[in-house]
Amino acid sequence: MTVKVRNEVDDYLKHTRSGWRKVGDFYYPKKHQSISAKTSNGRKIDYISIEELAVAMEIIVKKSFGMTIQGICIETARAYGFQRLSPMINSSMNKAYKKMLKQGKVKIDGQKLILN
């Protein structure tokens, strides 16, 4: 999406007061209080929000007995259909992990990531 198109969409959504909220670079309906993890449906990593990746990571951590940071990034990428961690995918996964850590949803126990 070009900058011009993005700016037009941003302006439209701000002025319509149609019940949208902006989180990072993504818009969500205001009536949805929480962000959920979805299947990738072939989406590129650019079209998956950091917040959505963090939700997916939390689900994976809940179902595991502790994983390394690298392990959780790899498993989350696989859950979205990515076969390898390109620099862009790795960057998004690390941002999602750091967001979870900052929010206090996970902590590091030795080298393992566990729910808080």
Q: What are the domain boundaries of the chain?
A: 1-32, 34-115
- Are 2 and 11 contacting, i.e. CB atoms less than 8 angstroms apart? no
29 versus 55: which is more confidently predicted?
A: 55
Is residue 37 over pLDDT 70?
yes
Cα–Cα distance, 2 to 30 (Å, whole number): 25
Distance CA 35, CA 18 (A): 18
pLDDT band at 2 (very low <50, low <70, confident <90, very high): confident
Work out the average pLDDT over 5-19.
72
- pTM of structure: 0.78
CATH of 34-115, one of 3.30.70, 1.10.3470, 1.10.10, 3.90.25: 1.10.10
**Strand 106-109 to strand 26-29: parallel, antiparallel, or no bridges (unpaired)?**
unpaired
Question: Band of the pLDDT at 72, cuts 50, 70, 90?
Answer: very high
pLDDT over 90 (residue 21) = no
Residue 1 binned pLDDT confidence (cut-offs 50, 70, 90)? low
